[in-house]
Amino acid sequence: MMRHLKRLYIGIVFFFLYAPILILMIFSFNKSRYMSKWDGFSLKWYADLFSDRDIMSALYYTLLIAVLSTIIATVIGLITAIGIHDMNKLGKGIMVNISYLPILNPDIVTGISLMMLFVFMKLELGFLTLLLAHITFNVPYVIFSILPKLRQMNKHLYEAALDLGATPFYAFRKVILPEIMPGVVTGMILAFTLSIDDFVISYFTTGAGVSNLSIIIYSMARVGIKPTINALSTLLFISVLLLLLIVNKRTSNNNGKEKVI
């Protein structure tokens, strides 16, 4: 009896999580622009999507900011995580708590604070400030994705590599990095997803001529969201899903090889 109740509970949770996405995907093929009725199957909104300059411009800036901020935040987060891991207990505790603050801090506070900082520094709000803001809130997530892998790693591996004649950089590249790579990949995916999804911080730190998808969709909501957004959301969801499947497949293959060895 309890087993059936657990399955029912899990089924209800997954239904509420994925039913809205499924409905959005279905109605992205609806000929009508209204979601209140089904007028037949059509690819019209997908064709309109690629001819809509505002949406394509927002998509360009969204992906560009996401890719750049993910790469930069991953490098900074990796270096910071290694530095925190090598600290003494007191220093590590202080740095971990400091790194937690941007995650626990409300987005609206972070957004306003960054906006005031950029204004104080006389930086014109636009692409650069938006990129810096995304790097700022992505770095802590990368740090806390890598730190658990560093704790699991045998600390003597690096020392052994140095004793065998490896340079510090070579030992890092050949010994440490492969051991913590799952955490690095997890941090990269999390940073990329958060960057695409962000609205509040982006709203306060961007300027005229530079908008991401969340800002464009917010501005559309006042007058009615175009059905092309359904098509765009469907393509983004499928792309992220494929990315996760590829990463999980590679991780499973690597774990299988390690077990064989």
pLDDT, position 134 = 94
pLDDT, position 68 = 96
Of 18-22, 49-53, 137-141, 154-158, give the lowest mean pLDDT range. Answer: 154-158
The token pair that represents 90 in the structure block = 């007191």
Residue 156, SS3? helix
pLDDT, position 215 = 87
Whether the CA torsion 74, 80, 81, 82 is positive or negative: it is: positive
- In the DSSP assignment, the letter for residue 254 is H
CATH 1.20.120.790 assigned to 69-225: no
Of 73-77, 203-207, 208-212, give the lowest mean pLDDT range. Answer: 208-212
* pLDDT classification of 250: cutoffs 50, 70, 90: low
Considering the chain, what is the average pLDDT of its residues?
Answer: 86
CA–CA distance, 194 with 211 (Å, rounded to integer):
16
State pLDDT tens for residues 2-22: 787 888 889 999 888 888 888
- Residue 86: count other Cβ atoms within 10 Å of its Cβ: 12
pLDDT at position 257 over 70: no
Give the global pTM. 0.83
Interval 126-145 mean pLDDT: 93
State pLDDT tens for residues 72-118: 999 999 999 999 988 888 888 888 888 888 888 888 999 999 999 99
The token pair that represents 133 in the structure block = 């803001």
Query: What DSSP letter does each residue of 43-97 carry, written as one string?
Result: -HHHHHHTT-HHHHHHHHHHHHHHHHHHHHHHHHHHHHHHHHHTS-HHHHHHHHH
- Residue 228: count other Cβ atoms within 10 Å of its Cβ: 22
The token pair that represents 145 in the structure block = 């994705």
Q: CB–CB of 187/142 below 8 Å?
A: yes
